[in-house]
Structure 1
Amino acid sequence: MAVVFTALFAVVASSGVALVVLGSVLSGRSDAPGAKLLATFAVVLGLGAVCSAVVGVWESSSNPTVTPLWTQLGLTGWALSTVPWFLFALVYTGRSDRIGRRTVAALYLPFAGLVMNFVWGFVGSGISGVANAIGSLVLLYTLALAAFGAVLVVQAARSYVHLSLREGVGLAAAPVLVVLALNSVTNLQQSATVLGPAVYAASLSVSTAALWAVLARDSVLDRVPAVETVGTREIIQETDDLVFVVDDRGTVVECNPRVVEILGVNRPEILGEPVTEGLGEGPGDLRTRETISLETTAGRRQYDPQVSELTHGDTELGAVLSLRDVTDRQLREQRLAVLNRVLRHNLRNKIDVIKSHAEVLRDDRPNQHVHTITETADEIRDLGYEARTIDRFLSESTVQEVDLVEVFETQYETVEPETDGLSVWVDHPETAVVTTDRAAVEAALKSALENAVSYASSTVEVVIEADGDGYAVLVSDDGSGIPEQELDSIDAGTETPLQHGTGLGLWQLKWAVTTVGGELSFETADGTTVRFTVPDVS
């Protein structure tokens, strides 16, 4: 029997040494969040196992039937390791990033009960009941630390894309399996002496092997779940939006720093108060509002409120209120609307005046100057029409079933070729029906066709073909190609005095394709090929 005991405790000691070695390896990973805490856990648990094994061998050679001291040493080592394990779980999962000495001291304070338990155990039986009660409380406390840490790690493994559930369970195995084994030893000792060390050796060796296997992968410590938790928290903290969390009664329970900064209030003044006091309206009213006006440190500003319900099953817990400052956007939209309407109206009237006078001059004195005036006036008028078309599909989006072949044929009839004898080659199915924005598709096809007939030398090719759930439209010409400065402006997404186009045609094409959710590309190696896609949004 002594040989069996020695063999089992040799397994325990080997596992303890392996844990200490693992801890020394992890201690060199100071850059990884939680690595040093996990190293401390492994070293403390390993040293407890080694001490337990040494005492176990000694006890088995002297009197193996008495209540073993090795179990108490093993349990003490495990209990002391639960604090660094718990702290590792907090840091690794991003629940906390600031672990100070006071926190560590506070977590170890209940362990004074273990010392008292050992001391009072030798004083006498008169207070042995108190000692056992204190020991039980400390055991429950350490069980809570181990269990809570294990739950945090396993939950993080379930949600974090770079950590598998198997790896999370492997990390959590050591603090859980070891205590289950040690707490089973007392009962096992009463029935069969050798089962206690056997269970302890098995659980410790399995836990050690699991830790080594999991931590052998660099990704476990290189890509930690803390980035997900901290990132989610920082989104709320760093966003420029005003964010409130309210309960089901509309009382503010949390807010981000931006609220304090923008509204000019103290955080304690907001928490616990109805959200209506700060915003003037509750979550129910905010759901129906497009904008609300708030007095801020920068004056009165307009905000777009968004309300997201917080629920647990079928129970409504509260809501998250997010308010985005749209003052500048509203002013910009108003300026554009006014300028667009006034300029188009005035432009059309002024062009009519210019053309009428030019026609009188043409009748009296026909010459090239009059022709240039009339032609330029027509071009300016066309710009006004293009601006109106763009405004229509950008502001009045209507999604419906659209046959691209029918739209192409309709738009082609409105295009006037600038080259005599221009041939148009068409390849398309009988129908090409998609659910999309009709006005935007009409504008995109018209722009692509006008561009092709403007630059083509002799031939224009139009192809409509299936592309995923929708269709792709290709319009090619054999001309000199779109001027580089035109494409540069489109690629840059803006126009500057040194980089600008000559009209709205390509902008209309780009905005129309963007409106339908498609992709636009240009090929200018041999003539010009405009390709854009029209996805089906049904």
Structure 2
Amino acid sequence: MSRLLAWPFLLSLLAGLGSLGLARQLWRVRDRPGARWFFVTLVGQTLFCLAYAGALLVSGETLRYGLEVLAVVSLHWIGVPFLGFALEYTGRSNLVDTWYFRSLFAFPLAATVLLPFTAGHGLFWTDFALDPAFGVVGATYTTEPLLFVTVLGGTGGASIGALLLLETFLDYGPLYRTEAIAVALSPLPPALGIFAWLFQFGPVPELNLTAVLFIPHVLLDGYAFVRSDMFEFHPATRRAAERSALDDLPSPVFVVDEQGRIVETNGRARAVLSNGEDPVTRPVEDVLGVSVSLTDDQRLGLRHDGQHRTYRLRPAPLTDSGDNLVGYTLVLQDITDEVRREQRLEVLNRVLRHNLRNDMTVVKGHLGVAMDADDATRRDDALRTADDKAEELIATSEKARNVAEILRNVAGDPIAVDVYDLCADVTESARDSAPGATVHVEGDSPARVETDPDVLAAVVRNLVENAVSHGGDAPTVTVTVERRAPDLVCVTVADDGPGIPDVELETLQSGTETDLQHGSGLGLWVVRWGAELLGREVSFETGADGTTATVCVPDQGGD
């Protein structure tokens, strides 16, 4: 009867019953992040406390030894599940499925399998002996290295879990402050008891005071569960929201440190890189291949999906809770369409302001000559020149109208088209308008893709017209259709003319026109803009023996 009233037994029993009550309370919210792991922790804690409380009452050596083994095995199943709870509760549930975390269960599993037979192999302890103290049945034994390894391995998991909870308190502020502090501090008292038991220091080495020291642990956890509704609001929600907010942004985002090294990206940024490499820890300038300002807005040109894209980079400083600069957020806004609209306005403005004005001046001048001419031949020549210029003006205005139609109609669904047949139709029309030209199509047939046939026809037509118009009296133009991939068909237009002037190509590649640098018409601009709308860019190779232009058509139909 005296043993039932001894304080080591009563306090150990109280810790066990308190742990059991917490486990029952927690089972009601077992669907919340981390709750099941904490339930396993409390089950191990309950078994440890109750088994040790029972051991303190038993004087029979065999039963006393068995209860000691049960208590120590149960103690091993507290630390690692507590880490699982901390990972899920703080929004890191993906780490629970890693082999790093799973490997930690080697410690409690080793204890569960080997401890019951330690009397035979002596790997955990030796020299087990009963030693009464403070009215209960204590025990002494010599701890062996494997017991240190398994117990400290599990305790290490609990320590990491406590640090994660403290980090949550520092990062997320008052919403989770009291709960995180309570649960993070709760492992400290029993941890002191574990170390005193393992290393056999303190006034009563024959008693394992860990069970007694679980009482403040129970009180702190009870405060978090019952009074503060720990599982009503949990940081996993906020952490998931932060991650989702970054990943759901439609713009590429890079988070860099003060030296411009990448520490985080969102899914859109990784898609822009499209090389499959992990950019984290690498300088952002090396990853993007361009010079990057961490303080000022700037425009960047990057290649993505075979196209040149233009982005506006907007940097924003990142500071910690003490307003110390810790890095920058770089948001890349895709302004390619905006830039293209600017380009088209510049080109069309030049056509109206420069080409049309000049050509109309020529027409007006020659009409004046015709009106004043006394000689019929001179009058006819002037009228012929005026008529030619008028025809050019009509062709230019028609091309401008076609440009507007192409740019307006690209939102339609892709249509299955045989690229070879389309090119054949375009070249036949070119032959009719230029009888002296030799234009033919060769290559792969059929070559079907799903794309916008109107845009593709406009691109091929303008390439062929440009080749015919600059090829002299009897130009030869070859249109080659080639399937280069299951979902990619390329069209090459080659001529034997003098080649496109450098100023034309430079203007086309820069994407802008000025009074001092501009093209001669709209044809090559239609080619460039049309190729971009098809999802690729046009490339030119020019020399003394002619020009070769290539545009590839990706299959836009999908799977």
Q: CA deviation at 1:189?
A: 7.7
**Aligned in 2, Cα 1:109/1:192: closer, same or farther, shift over 3 Å?**
closer
* Distance in structure 1 (CA, Å) of the matches to 2:118 and 2:190: 26
Task: Answer yes or no: is the 8 Å Cα contact 1:304–1:324 preserved in 2.
Answer: yes
Secondary structure of the structure 2 residue equivalent to 1:267: coil
Q: What code does the residue aligned with 1:169 have?
A: I
Change (3 A) 1:68 1:182: farther
Work out whether residues 110 and 138 of structure 1, in 8 Å CA contact, stay in contact via their aligned partners in 2: yes
Change (3 A) 1:244 1:162: same
Partner of 2:165: 153
Q: Is residue 140 of structure 1 aligned with residue 140 of structure 2?
A: no
Whether the 8 Å CA contact 2:90–2:236 is kept in 1: the answer is yes
User: What is the deviation of 1:255?
Assistant: 3.2
What corresponds to 2:77 in structure 1?
Answer: 80
* 1:189-242, Cα deviation, whole Å (9 max, x unpaired): 873479x46x54542222212222221146421210112222222222221222
In the alignment, the residues of structure 2 paired with residue 160 and residue 273 of structure 1 have an alpha-carbon distance, to the nearest angstrom, of 28
**Equivalent position to 1:255, from 239, 243, 265:** 265
Deviation (angstroms), 1:175: 2.9
* Alpha-carbon separation, structure 1, partners of 2:193 and 2:125: 28
* CA–CA distance in structure 1, aligned partners of residues 199 and 65 of structure 2: 12
2:90 partner letter: T
Return the alpha-carbon distance in structure 2 between the equivalents of residues 74 and 127 of structure 1: 14
Alpha carbons of 1:33 and 1:336: their partners in 2 closer, same or farther (altered >3 Å)?
farther
Retained in 1: the 8 A contact 2:262–2:281? yes
Instruction: Give the TM-score taking structure 1 as reference length.
Output: 0.51
Q: Report SS of the residue matched to 2:105.
A: helix
Could you tell me how far apart the structure 2 residues matched to 1:271 and 1:101 are?
A: 20
Q: In structure 2, what is the Cα distance between the partners aligned to 1:314 and 1:262?
A: 32
| Aligned equivalent of 2:310, options 294, 302, 307 | 302
Alignment identity in percent?
24
Match of 2:196 among 156, 171, 184: 184
Please identify, of 86-95 and 273-282, the stretch whose mean Cα deviation from structure 2 is larger: 273-282
| 1:329 shift after superposition | 5.3
Instruction: Say yes or no: does 1:90 pair with 2:102.
Output: no
* Conserved 8 A contact 1:16-1:45: yes
Specify every segment of 5 or more residues in structure 1 that has no aligned partner in the other structure, as ranges: 340-538
- Identify the residue that residue 388 of structure 1 maps to in structure 2: none
Q: 1:170 to 1:75 in 2, by over 3 A?
A: farther
- Determine if the alignment matches structure 1 residue 326 to structure 2 residue 335: yes
**Residue of structure 1 equivalent to 2:357:** none
> What is the CA–CA distance in structure 2 between the aligned matches of 1:70 and 1:126, rounded to whole Å?
15
Residues 435-478 of structure 1: per-residue CA shift (max 9 Å, x gap): xxxxxxxxxxxxxxxxxxxxxxxxxxxxxxxxxxxxxxxxxxxx
Report the Cα offset of residue 179 of structure 1: 2.5
Contact 1:236 1:243 in 2 (8 A): yes
1:215 alignment counterpart: 225
In 2: Cα distance, 1:137 partner to 1:330 partner:
64
Q: Secondary structure in 1 aligned to 2:311? A: strand
1:281 is matched with 290
Spell out, residue by residue over 1:13-43, the C-alpha distance to the aligned partner (whole angstroms, 9 max, x if none): 2321332232233223233111111111111
State the AA in 1 paired with 2:36.
Answer: K
Cα distance in 2, alignment partners of residues 273 and 189 from structure 1 = 50
- How far apart are the structure 2 equivalents of 1:186 and 1:100? 31
**SS in structure 2 of the partner of residue 307 of structure 1:** strand
Larger Rg: 2
What is the alpha-carbon distance in structure 1 between the residues aligned to residue 316 and residue 3 of structure 2? 67
SS of the aligned residue for 2:58 comes to helix
Secondary structure of the residue aligned to 2:156 is: helix
- For 2:173 and 2:281, the matched residues in 1 are separated by 36
Q: Give the SS at the match of 2:250.
A: coil
CA contact (8 A) 2:176 2:234 kept: no
The one-letter amino acid of 1:147's match is: S
> Residue type of the partner of 2:48?
G
* 8 Å Cα contact 1:177/1:207 also seen in 2: yes
SS at match of 1:94: coil
Letter in 2 for 1:122: G
Alignment correspondent of 2:277: 268
2:20 maps to 1:20:
yes
Q: Which has the higher helix share?
A: 1
Deviation at 1:50, TM superposition (A): 0.8
1:30 maps to which residue?
30
Instruction: Give 1:74 deviation, angstroms.
Output: 4.1
Provide the C-alpha distance between the structure 2 equivalents of 1:155 and 1:104, rounded to a whole number of angstroms.
Answer: 19
Q: CA deviation at 1:151?
A: 1.4
Cα distance between partner residues in 1 of 2:335 and 2:233 = 37
SS in structure 1 opposite 2:290?
Answer: coil
List gaps (5 residues or longer) in structure 2: 128-141, 349-559
Residues 126 and 101 (structure 1), Cα distance of their counterparts in 2 relative to 1, 3 Å cut = closer
Q: Deviations over 1:294-328 (max 9, x none)?
A: 22238333212133567899998765433122344
CA RMSD of superposed structures (Å): 4.4
Alpha-carbon spacing, 1:190–1:220, altered in 2? closer, same or farther (3 Å): closer
Q: How does 1:291-370 map to 2 (within 5 A)?
A: 291-297=299-305, 299-308=307-316, 319-328=328-337
Q: Corresponding residue for 1:122?
A: 120
Give the distance between the partners of 2:65 and 2:198, measured in 1 at CA.
9
User: 2:103 is matched by which residue type in structure 1?
Assistant: A
Residue 48 of structure 1 and its aligned partner are, at CA, apart by 1.4
Q: How does 1:128-527 map to 2 (within 5 A)?
A: 132-161=144-173, 163-185=175-197, 191-192=203-204, 196=207, 199-200=209-210, 202-217=212-227, 219-246=229-256, 252=262, 254-263=264-273, 265-268=274-277, 270=279, 274-283=283-292, 285=293, 287-297=295-305, 299-308=307-316, 319-328=328-337
Cα displacement string for residues 53-98 of structure 1 (whole angstroms, at most 9, x for unaligned residues): 1112214x889xxx99877654442321111110010010112246
Tell me if structure 2 keeps the 8 A contact 1:310–1:319: yes
1:47 pairs with 2:47: yes
Distance 1:101 1:248 in 2: 31
Letter in 2 for 1:306: R
Q: What amino acid does structure 2 have at the position aligned with 1:256?
A: N
Distance 2:266 2:144 in 1: 48
Q: Is the 8 A contact 1:293 1:300 kept in 2?
A: yes
Q: Give the Cα–Cα distance (whole angstroms) in 1 for the partners of residues 143 and 203 of structure 2.
A: 26
